[in-house]
Amino acid sequence: MTPLSELAQGQQYPTAALYVVATPIGNVADITLRALHVLGLVDRIAAEDTRNTGQLLSRYGISKPLLAVHQHNERAAALRIVEHLQAGERVAYVSDAGTPGISDPGAILVDAVREAGFPVIPLPGASALATALSAAGNWVATFSFLGFLPPKSKQRASTLQPLATHPHAMVFYEAPHRIVETVQALADAFGGARRLLIARELTKLHEAVHCGTLAEGPTWLAADPNRQRGEFVLVVEGAPQETAGEHDHDALLEILLEELTVSSAAKVAASITGASRNALYTRALALKKE
Ligand code: SAM
């Protein structure tokens, strides 16, 4: 078998550099050979959670000085890391799970290190974002990553409203205690007809990847309370070309507005067409004023 150090060759590992290293999102075996090589090579490892990272490192027989860099101390800790780089050290940064900087600390550190004139070297690996997308299908050929939605329902709705006509698939992260209300909020904002991928507990024992529609998302989650546990990635189909045009349902809305309020007309039109109730409401309001 080829030794690790040889497999990880093909690139220099300069001193006085920051190595941004992706770690597993669940299954501990999802770490790359290069990540192990570099973690074994660096002088110091900065970590979002030193206890977690210590456990991961001990699984692979790596022991290094650890330094905590999390969302509450990232700016101050970045200055300390720059000092270590000035002393000629190689420093690695790992977040709790997955790729640093993706809904995780790391970006402020990267800015500070680059501003101080030191190289930032990324080591690719696991991310819940890429893992979920890889199991979605052709409808996510183009996508936007939105991360976590605001926890309060009003802010969440106003974040989603302008996205109703967004033409690309949208990827969201969500925690278990908000998964049901978030899926419902997505269905309210975008209509029930669009595809929804629910990727739960990726790479772990209770992994589930369910591909359905926004309308049946809440039912799928409610069918078994276990489906609401764990970590989630949600991928929602972008606005279909034919409904992305704001005038496409004018004829239907005009008929409904003869008998109904703007809000009821938008609601009925949404259930007939599967288009976003928010988008139809905005259009019905404009038609009413014309
Ligand atoms: N940096 C990480 C990455 O590269 O994916 C993301 C960290 S963020 C703080 C944690 C969120 O990522 C979770 O709440 C969940 O939405 C998503 N996530 C992380 N691990 C996951 C997994 N194994 N399965 C599904 N979603 C996951």
What is the DSSP code string of 42-66? -SEEEESSHHHHHHHHHHTT----E
206 versus 247: which is more confidently predicted?
206
For ligand 1, whether the C-beta of 131 sits within 6 Å is no
Domain boundary among 99, 126, 153: 126
Q: What are the start-end ranges of the E strands in 88-194? A: 90-94, 120-123, 143-148, 169-174
**Whole-angstrom distance, CA of residue 11 vs CA of residue 124:** 14
Distance 139 CA to ligand 1 centre (A): 22
**Whole-angstrom distance, CA of residue 99 vs CA of residue 113:** 18
Q: What residue type is assigned to position 252 of the chain?
A: L
pLDDT digits (tens, 9 = 90+) for 45-59: 999 999 999 999 999
Q: What residue type is assigned to position 273 of the chain?
A: T
- pLDDT confidence of residue 199: 98
Q: Indicate whether 144 and 220 sit together in one domain.
A: yes
For ligand 1, whether the C-beta of 172 sits within 6 Å is no
**Whole-angstrom distance, CA of residue 149 vs CA of residue 158:** 10
Nearest atom in ligand 1 to 127's CA: 4
For ligand 1, whether the C-beta of 136 sits within 6 Å is no
Of the listed ranges 3-12, 159-168, 252-261, 265-274, the least confidently predicted one is 3-12
The answer to whether residue 259 sits within a structural domain is: yes
Q: Indicate whether 10 and 108 sit together in one domain.
A: yes
| Nearest alpha carbon, ligand 1 atom 19 | 128
For ligand 1, whether the C-beta of 30 sits within 6 Å is no
Q: Indicate whether 230 and 197 sit together in one domain.
A: yes
Q: Indicate whether 139 and 209 sit together in one domain.
A: yes
The answer to whether residue 26 sits within a structural domain is: yes
User: What is the band of 282 on the pLDDT scale with cuts at 50, 70, 90?
Assistant: confident
The answer to whether residue 91 sits within a structural domain is: yes
Q: What is the CATH number of the domain that holds 56?
A: 3.40.1010.10
Q: Indicate whether 137 and 120 sit together in one domain.
A: no
- pLDDT confidence of residue 243: 47
Q: Indicate whether 38 and 118 sit together in one domain.
A: yes
pLDDT digits (tens, 9 = 90+) for 186-201: 999 999 999 999 999 9
Domain boundary among 88, 110, 126: 126
Which residues, 6+ apart, have CB-to-CB distance to 112 below 8 Å? 75, 78, 79, 81, 82
Q: Indicate whether 278 and 266 sit together in one domain.
A: yes
The mean per-residue pLDDT over the stretch 58-78 comes to: 97
For residue 64, pLDDT beyond 60? yes
Cα dihedral 155, 158, 164, 168 in deg (nearest 10): -50
Q: Indicate whether 10 and 105 sit together in one domain.
A: yes
Cα dihedral 128, 118, 92, 23 in deg (nearest 10): 10
Distance 58 CA to ligand 1 centre (A): 22
The answer to whether residue 176 sits within a structural domain is: yes
Q: Quick one: which H or E segment has residue 265?
A: helix 262-273
- The sheet carrying 195-200 orders its strands as 143-148, 169-174, 232-236, 195-200, 208-213
The reported pTM is 0.84
For ligand 1, whether the C-beta of 165 sits within 6 Å is no
> Cβ distance 276 to 239 under 8 Å?
yes
> Cβ distance 210 to 198 under 8 Å?
yes
The answer to whether residue 42 sits within a structural domain is: yes
For ligand 1, whether the C-beta of 93 sits within 6 Å is no
For ligand 1, whether the C-beta of 26 sits within 6 Å is yes
Domain boundary among 126, 157, 176: 126
Helices 262-273 and 277-289 meet at what angle, rounded to 10? 130
The mean per-residue pLDDT over the stretch 238-264 comes to: 84
For residue 8, pLDDT beyond 80? no
Average pLDDT, the chain: 94
User: What is the band of 7 on the pLDDT scale with cuts at 50, 70, 90?
Assistant: low
Distance 48 CA to ligand 1 centre (A): 14
The answer to whether residue 187 sits within a structural domain is: yes
The answer to whether residue 242 sits within a structural domain is: no
pLDDT digits (tens, 9 = 90+) for 71-115: 999 999 999 999 999 999 999 999 999 999 999 999 999 999 999
The answer to whether residue 162 sits within a structural domain is: yes
Measured CA to CA in angstroms, residue 96 lies from 43, 110, 195, 283 at distances of: 19, 16, 30, 44
Nearest atom in ligand 1 to 203's CA: 23
- For the chain, the domain total comes to 3
Q: What is the CATH number of the domain that holds 225?
A: 3.30.950.10
Q: Indicate whether 84 and 121 sit together in one domain.
A: yes
Q: Indicate whether 17 and 113 sit together in one domain.
A: yes
**Whole-angstrom distance, CA of residue 238 vs CA of residue 214:** 12
| Nearest alpha carbon, ligand 1 atom 16 | 173
- The sheet carrying 120-123 orders its strands as 66-68, 44-47, 90-94, 17-21, 120-123
Parallel, antiparallel, or unpaired for β 208-213 and 195-200? Answer: antiparallel
Q: Indicate whether 173 and 82 sit together in one domain.
A: no
User: 78: domain range?
Assistant: 4-126
Nearest atom in ligand 1 to 99's CA: 4
Q: Indicate whether 41 and 147 sit together in one domain.
A: no
Beta bridge partners of 148: 173
For ligand 1, whether the C-beta of 256 sits within 6 Å is no
